[in-house]
Amino acid sequence: MAKKRFYITTPIYYPSGNAHIGHAYCTTMCDIFARNKRMRGYECYFLTGTDEHGVKIEKKAQEAGVTPQEYVDGISEQFKKLWKTMEISNDDFIRTTEERHWTIIQKVFSHMIKNDDVYLGKYEGWYCTPCESFWTDTQVGENHLCPDCGRPVQKETEECYFFKTQKYIDVVNDWYKLPESVYPISRKNEMINTFIKPGLSDLCVTRTSFKWGVPLLENPKHVSYVWVDALFNYLTALGYGTSHDELYKKYWESEDSEIIHVIGADITRFHTIYWPEFLASMNLRLPDRVFVHGLIMMKDGKMSKSKGNVVSPYPLVEKYGVDAVRYYLAREIIFGEDGTFTPEQFIDRINNDLVNNLGNLLSRTVAMVIKYFDGVVPGFKKGINPKDNELEKLAEETIKKNEEDIDDLHITEAYIEVMNMLDVANKYIEENAPWNLAKDETKKENLESVMSHLIYTLFVGAKLLEPILVNKSQEIYRQIGLTSEKANYKNIHDINICNGNKVTKGESLFPRLNVAEEVKYVASLMKNN
Ligand code: MSP
């Protein structure tokens, strides 16, 4: 049975550098899901934030000559600003340095100590500071490189508390049996084969070699390991453990709520092994889905400052508009698979899909309704032209498929279908050649039918694309004469919704881009970082 409510989260990002296109990718995909759900009448709570403790941040602040708090205050503001610019509809933004968060982390540790889930010991092993992860000798190999990011790891020896990972391993194994718990399945199998089958070591959950973290009430020289601190953001943001825990009850505890974590492939281990274990230790419900998306790479590999290939979303949004950037992210890289950012593909995607397909369909259709019917959309008629039924059926199927795909977080696939429908509508114009029908008085009904089918298809397309094209969908409604009240999702199946509307010619929806010029511009942005 479909759940009535949704709780969707992004990872909380490290404010160790400014946000880049990778962060924007994950947040935009979650935003599309949240907007789609709300538009369809569901309640959806959408959380993002920043992960502000740990040795990495402490070092960055030192390098910058400011306190860690000053450092994170500045960068987390940048993240908030970016989400505003990208029209992200998050309901909350959690920072792990907020009191509402860290006081609960202290309570979590008190519980784990009382529950005998942790014990005091000494850590001797390897640590990757950029990933904030511990590794064993075998995992780092002869060259002492982090298995996740490939950077050199450091040897660490310090007193710490260990979490008894074997105590809750059955909970993880049982959760893995649920088909939707981890997607794609290959990520789950990777966890089983790489970490669970070889035998999971106990996890070091506190640190004593630096200060920038949440101190334990029971033993304040220990600060929380940043990953324990970070994972619990999903609960602290809902007021878990406080007297004002209404959101927690509504979105976590309630069986009517579907809990979805969206994460990048780099942090699967923490979310699909340790997080369920921590939740089990706290006697709490596990998430319904952890959706693992791929990483955006550059032609020369991972984005990194040293390579000078980091892409900032700001100049892209400034030049091409927020809708185009959101569309590119949703459509170009299949959600769940790795992808590559190239200036060529970025410009091509906008020109092919938004200018040639969607924009063209709108401008041609509106121009023809003006030319042949004085701007008034003729009443919908069924089955007049040979391809009418096909287009109608396609619209129905596209709506259904789009809903199913979004429900499964197959976001890219959901929009491939929509763009295909628009493409078919453009071909339908060619097949019916309205310019010929207009010359023949006896074909008036045929012409009326073509126009009303096109306008309805445009409504369906704009409505389905609205979670991505947050601004341009409104412009489409305006041009096809739909008030915001009428352009409601509940009317999406109503083929008569546009009958008698007055259309308005507007500016072209997306200006055509000069490929050579714009590719050069986007490439220059990558070098300037
Ligand atoms: N702070 C931790 C997460 C804690 S969640 C309880 C962290 N932060 S991060 O800033 O390094 O990365 C977080 C997420 O950003 C990744 O999991 C991924 O979703 C997204 N991305 C960061 N770089 C990315 C790409 N190059 N491509 C796509 N997404 C990327 O890990």
DSSP letter for each residue of 388-445: HHHHHHHHHHHHHHHHHHHHTT-HHHHHHHHHHHHHHHHHHHHHH-HHHHTT-GGGHH
Which ligand 1 atom lies nearest to the CA of residue 270? 6
Rounded distance between C-alpha atoms, residue 223 and residue 221, angstroms: 7
| Burial state string for 100-129 with b = 16 or more CB within 10 A and e = fewer than 16 | ebbebbbbbbeebbeeebbeeeebebbbbb
Ligand 1 lining (C-beta closer than 6 Å): 11-14, 22-23, 25-26, 51, 230-231, 233, 263-264, 266-267, 295-296, 303
Global pTM reads 0.96
Protein residue whose Cα sits closest to atom 22 of ligand 1: 22
User: What is the whole-number distance in angstroms between the Cα of residue 77 and the centre of ligand 1?
Assistant: 17
User: What is the whole-number distance in angstroms between the Cα of residue 247 and the centre of ligand 1?
Assistant: 25
User: What is the whole-number distance in angstroms between the Cα of residue 131 and the centre of ligand 1?
Assistant: 10
User: What is the whole-number distance in angstroms between the Cα of residue 25 and the centre of ligand 1?
Assistant: 10
User: What is the whole-number distance in angstroms between the Cα of residue 30 and the centre of ligand 1?
Assistant: 13
Rounded distance between C-alpha atoms, residue 509 and residue 362, angstroms: 8
Contact (Cβ atoms closer than 8 angstroms) between residue 505 and residue 364: no
Q: Which of 8, 16, 25 to mutate to test the pocket of ligand 1 (most atoms within 8 A of CB)?
A: 25
Protein residue whose Cα sits closest to atom 13 of ligand 1: 13
User: What is the whole-number distance in angstroms between the Cα of residue 359 and the centre of ligand 1?
Assistant: 34
Protein residue whose Cα sits closest to atom 16 of ligand 1: 264
Which ligand 1 atom lies nearest to the CA of residue 294? 28
User: What is the whole-number distance in angstroms between the Cα of residue 15 and the centre of ligand 1?
Assistant: 11
Protein residue whose Cα sits closest to atom 17 of ligand 1: 264
Protein residue whose Cα sits closest to atom 5 of ligand 1: 11
Query: What pLDDT was estimated at residue 301?
Result: 81
Which ligand 1 atom lies nearest to the CA of residue 51? 1
User: What is the whole-number distance in angstroms between the Cα of residue 23 and the centre of ligand 1?
Assistant: 6
Structure-block tokens of residue 357:
């397909």
User: What is the whole-number distance in angstroms between the Cα of residue 13 and the centre of ligand 1?
Assistant: 6
Query: What pLDDT was estimated at residue 28?
Result: 98
Query: What pLDDT was estimated at residue 306?
Result: 65
Which ligand 1 atom lies nearest to the CA of residue 267? 17
Query: What pLDDT was estimated at residue 300?
Result: 81
User: What is the whole-number distance in angstroms between the Cα of residue 12 and the centre of ligand 1?
Assistant: 8
Structure-block tokens of residue 343:
């200036």
Protein residue whose Cα sits closest to atom 19 of ligand 1: 264
Protein residue whose Cα sits closest to atom 29 of ligand 1: 22
What sign for the dihedral angle of Cα 318, 319, 323, 326?
A: negative
User: What is the whole-number distance in angstroms between the Cα of residue 57 and the centre of ligand 1?
Assistant: 15
Query: What pLDDT was estimated at residue 163?
Result: 98
- pLDDT tens digits, the chain, 529 residues: what are they? 467 999 999 999 999 888 999 999 999 999 999 999 999 999 999 999 999 999 999 999 999 999 999 999 999 999 999 999 999 999 999 999 999 999 999 999 999 999 999 999 999 999 999 999 999 898 999 999 999 888 999 999 999 999 999 999 999 999 999 999 999 999 999 999 999 999 999 999 999 999 999 999 999 999 999 999 999 999 999 999 999 999 999 999 999 999 999 999 999 999 999 999 999 999 999 999 999 999 999 888 877 666 777 889 999 999 999 999 999 999 999 999 999 999 999 999 999 999 999 999 999 999 999 999 999 999 998 889 989 999 999 999 999 999 999 999 999 999 999 999 999 999 999 999 999 999 999 999 999 999 999 999 999 999 999 999 999 999 999 999 999 999 999 999 999 999 999 999 999 999 999 999 999 999 998 875 5
Which ligand 1 atom lies nearest to the CA of residue 16? 10
Query: What pLDDT was estimated at residue 305?
Result: 65
Query: What pLDDT was estimated at residue 203?
Result: 96
Alpha helices (H) in 40-85, listed in sequence order: 55-64, 68-85
Which ligand 1 atom lies nearest to the CA of residue 262? 19
Phi-psi region of 440 (alpha: psi -120 to 50; beta: other; left: phi over 0): beta
Amino acid at 20: H
User: What is the whole-number distance in angstroms between the Cα of residue 21 and the centre of ligand 1?
Assistant: 11
Among 98, 85, 6, 7, which Cα is nearest to 49's? 98
Rounded distance between C-alpha atoms, residue 474 and residue 488, angstroms: 11
Which ligand 1 atom lies nearest to the CA of residue 10? 19
Q: Which of 33, 295, 337, 411 to mutate to test the pocket of ligand 1 (most atoms within 8 A of CB)?
A: 295
Which ligand 1 atom lies nearest to the CA of residue 297? 26
E strand or H helix at 349, and its extent? helix 343-349
Rounded distance between C-alpha atoms, residue 286 and residue 263, angstroms: 16
